Amino acid sequence: MEKILVKAKSVFLNSLLILTGCWLAVALSFQLYGVYLMISNQEDRMTEISNEISVRIDGTFKNNPKNIWYEK
C-alpha cells in the first residue's frame, strides 16, 4: 500500500511540474510575440489582443456576451 501512495505522489508531482512548464512556455511565447509586435511597429495589434482578453476575463465587462461572467 505504501508503494502505491509513493507512486501516486510521484505521478502527481511530475504532472504538476509538466503543467507548470507548459504554462511557462505559453506565457513566454505570448510575451515574445508581444515583443515581436512592438519591434515590427504593430502595437495596435497587441492593443486589440489585450482588449479582447480584458473583455473576456474582466468582471467589469460582464454585460458583454463574450465575457465568462456574462449572465443572461
pLDDT(67) > 90: no
- pLDDT (tens digit per residue) in 15-62: 999 999 999 999 999 999 999 999 999 999 999 999 888 888 887 777
Give just the sign of the alpha carbon dihedral 39, 51, 31, 29.
negative
Task: State the residue for C-alpha cell 506565457.
Answer: 27
**pTM of the model as a whole:** 0.69
- pLDDT (tens digit per residue) in 4-26: 889 999 999 999 999 999 999 99
Please report the pLDDT score of residue 57 as a whole number. Answer: 86
Q: Are 61 and 55 in contact (CB under 8 A)?
A: yes
The domain locations on the chain are 1-41, 42-72
Rounded-to-integer distance, Cα 3 and Cα 10, Å: 10
State residue 63 phi and psi, 5-degree precision: -90, -5
Task: State the residue for C-alpha cell 468582471.
Answer: 59
Q: Where do the DSSP E strands lie in 1-72?
A: none
